[in-house]
Amino acid sequence: MNKVKIAKCDLDASEISLGCMRIADLTKPEIATLIQTALDEGINFFDHADIYGGGQSEAKFAEALNMTASVREKMILQSKCGIRQGSFDFSKGYILEAVDGILKRLQTDYLDVLLLHRPDALVEPEEVAEAFTILEDSGKVRYFGVSNQKPMQIELLSKFVKQPLIINQLQLSITNTGMIDAGINVNMKIDPSIDRDGSILDYCRLKEITIQPWSPFQYGFFEGAFLNNDKFPELNQKINEIASAWGVTNTAIAIAWLLRHPAHMQPIVGTTNPARVKDVCKASNVKLTREEWYAIYLAAGNKLP
């Protein structure tokens, strides 16, 4: 497993992360097998959120591993907070309370990374700054980031927060390429030229913020996987053709497509299938050519100007 260089920190992180959103429905032995498979394949970065499974994803993760200091030191743990039932909450009090809950459920003294989970329309960046400083000074959180935020939202936080924001989780897959489309179709009166994200892809590259693509196999907003889906015949034909040439599965090619981008992204893979974890990890050894990357992009229904 290759490593991804996450700027402004000392994390030696795998370039693929395992997302733990769906593990609450698994048994403890199933979770233990899933996590051990990931570790054996070189994944050391695990993504959580306090809302996943109502907190049970974090709790069952730690219980399944019999979390100890020796187990903890093998992994990088990231979690997110800020989503409440019917609202978002980036207040100082809630962030501090949420982190204490996360640490308790994960049975650890610290998080490697804490992300603010989606934007809060009522954010008061001064309060976020106070919370982050308390968490850093107490040793409860080492590094910080955001999810689904655009440049000006990050700039607003950065004006007050003294810690660098090192990660931004964004929805990105072969069939969800809005942030890429807008950068290709510049100065054109067509839908793909619409910049809905404030040039977030280029911004993150300029600011050395690592993008973590989530739902890398999904189309739409959790509408299903595009792989082996009759709705995407041309795309699957092209992916399967390239997968055969590389001697890997279509799953690996879908991740290799993201890894090929020079932004050095770190995809979050949410599978609960150990065999698929092994398939995904083969993407780390696949370096798609420029021609292969564009062929997949076009097969997804995109057009070049």
266: Cα within 13 Å, side-chain hemisphere: 32
pTM: 0.96
Place of tokens 């370039």: 15
For the chain, domain boundaries? 3-299
Q: Which CA distances in Å does 264 have to 4, 29, 165, 231?
A: 7, 33, 16, 29
Residue 122: C-alpha distances to residues 113, 170, 292 (Å): 23, 21, 44
The domain defined by 3-299 folds into: TIM Barrel (3.20.20)
pLDDT at 60 over 90: yes
Per-residue pLDDT band at 274 (split at 50, 70, 90) = very high
pLDDT for position 211: 98
The pLDDT confidence band at residue 257, using thresholds 50, 70 and 90, is very high
- Annotated catalytic residue 52: yes
Quote the pLDDT of residue 222: 78
Token duo for residue 181: 């489309």
Question: From the candidates 52, 143, 203, 297, which is the catalytic residue?
Answer: 52
Q: pLDDT tens across 166-217, in order?
A: 999 999 999 999 999 999 999 999 999 999 999 999 999 999 999 999 999 9
The predicted-structure confidence for 133-163, as pLDDT tens digits, reads as follows 999 999 999 999 999 999 999 999 999 999 9
Mapped onto helix, strand or coil, the DSSP state of residue 98 is: helix
